[in-house]
Amino acid sequence: MKLFGTHITILVILVLLVSLPTIGLVNYLEVSAKTTAVFKDTAVAGIDVSGMTKEEAVVRIDNAIKDFNNTPFIVTLVDGTVLELDKDVVSFDVEATLSQATAAGTYQLVTTVDEERITSYLDGQPVTPTMVTSPLLEAASALKSDINLEITTTESEVVATITLSPTPAMRSAVERINGFEMDAGDIFSLKSFGEDYDALSTLGSSMYQLFAATPFTILERVQHDILPAGIELGYDVKIDERSNFAVQNTEQTSYALIVLEEGNAMTIQLLGKPFVGAYESRVEEVTSVPFQNIVRFSPSLPAGSSSVTQSGQTGESGKLYRVRVTDTGESLELLGFDFYEPTPEIVTKSSIPVPEPEPEPEPTEPIIIPILPDDPSEWLNEWIPNNDGQNDGTSDFEQPPVQDVPSSSEEAVG
């Protein structure tokens, strides 16, 4: 038995001595075959590597990438704006690319895009990283530097738009909105784009008008007590500590808000897949309510005076409908019913009684005074009797009768 075990051990050693070199030779031949194999009728990113070994193809493609990186990407946006992006936003895996090229054909370079780097280039531009990433990846994998988003984003259309003339505070919020992407189920919250509530309220009116012409759900919207000046009835939005304007994307695809600027005007566009049916907003059933006149009395005003303490304002109401138009007709969805109470006119009058006027004196007959001539001789003869006590007949003047004067011995009667 001991001899048999020895024979078995010797046999195993002999088998190993024969098989190990054979296995090593097979592995060597396989590796050698791979390193010496050449590509046939193969191109990578437009570079013909036919007849090259893998090592030769790696060198050839690496040199092409170095030349490619010497110039930036030229990206033409939808509005015609041209941007330059450095090539550091992409990276290539040549080894992985050649490993896939197992048969004759044309191959693209395995490429990776750094979205964080892209975002820094797109700050303040009317485009989102998502809109750029896909066409940039496609161009880079083919070692192409020119990208035209008008051509590569044909699946996205402007589904809603609004133009406004913003104040400086509004402009800051609009610039933050630019490039905002809404995936399916995402929520747009206006308060997250600014701190100036007055500016956000005015901007909210425009955003309400924009989203009212979409199938998106209006989650939150509050109106003012009095319709602000310059705001169209039905689109009033109030933003404060407790109030917000929020919308949810209820579609199954993503959408983006893009801002285009021309002069003092800014246009906000909603880009994405076209909706099923055409949407618009409409304000109907508009009514007005007359204001009341209220009179109040105050002792602080002078007697008989009055002043308008509060000007009256007519109240109004209206309903905002979302209208969906299809081949079968229109369907209406009530989005809001706004009512603004009338403001009464208040007139304050003096409570001090007005004193009665003094009675006017009764009229008297006029006293006629004759005008005498300047020469006394002309009127002396006319108005004074002659020496004999008789009038010369030229005047109606009569001398008064001479009364007898009682003597001292007689008593005067009277």
Strand partners, 279: 324
Q: Give percent helix, percent strand, percent coil of the chain, each to the nearest 5.
A: 30, 30, 40
What are the extents of the domains in the chain?
33-154, 155-275, 278-350
Kindly list the distances between the CA atom of residue 101 and the CA atoms of 48, 62, 93, 98, 106, in Å, as whole numbers in the listed order.
Answer: 12, 16, 13, 5, 8
The CB density around residue 341, as the number of other CB atoms within 10 Å, is 13
* pLDDT of 32: 47
Structure tokens at 77: 């946006």
Residues ≥6 apart with Cβ < 8 Å to 92 = 65, 109, 110, 111, 112, 140
pLDDT score, position 218: 97
Please state, in angstroms and rounded to a whole number, the distance separating the CA atoms of residues 367 and 371. 13
Domain 278-350 maps to which CATH number in 3.40.50.2020, 3.40.228.10, 3.40.605.10, 2.20.230.10? 2.20.230.10
Task: Mark out the alpha helices in 69-167 (DSSP H runs).
Answer: 94-100, 115-121, 129-141, 149-152
- Show pLDDT as tens, one digit a residue, over the chain (414 residues): 555 556 566 666 665 565 555 555 445 445 444 555 788 889 998 999 998 999 999 999 999 999 999 999 998 876 677 888 899 999 999 999 998 888 888 999 999 999 888 888 877 677 777 778 888 899 999 999 998 876 544 457 899 999 999 999 999 999 999 989 999 999 999 999 999 999 999 999 999 999 999 999 999 999 999 999 999 999 999 999 999 999 999 999 999 999 988 888 999 999 999 999 999 999 999 999 899 999 999 888 888 888 998 998 899 999 999 999 998 899 999 999 999 999 999 999 988 888 888 788 777 777 777 776 666 666 666 655 555 545 555 555 455 555 555 554 444 443
Helices (H), 69-224: 94-100, 115-121, 129-141, 149-152, 168-177, 197-212
Strand order from edge to edge, sheet including 105-107: 47-48, 42-44, 105-107
pTM assigned to the model: 0.60
Judge residue 44's burial from the number of C-beta atoms within 10 Å of its C-beta, 0-12 exposed, 13-18 middle, 19 or more buried.
buried
Q: CB under 8 Å to 220, separation ≥6 — which residues?
A: 243, 244, 245, 246
pLDDT at 123: 73
Strand order of the sheet with strand 306-310?
293-298, 345-350, 306-310
pLDDT of 304 reads 83
**pLDDT value for 33:** 45
Q: H or E stretch including 378?
A: helix 376-383
- Specify burial of residue 61 (Cβ count, 10 A radius: 0-12, 13-18, 19+): buried
> By C-alpha distance, which of 246, 332, 217 is closest to 283?
332
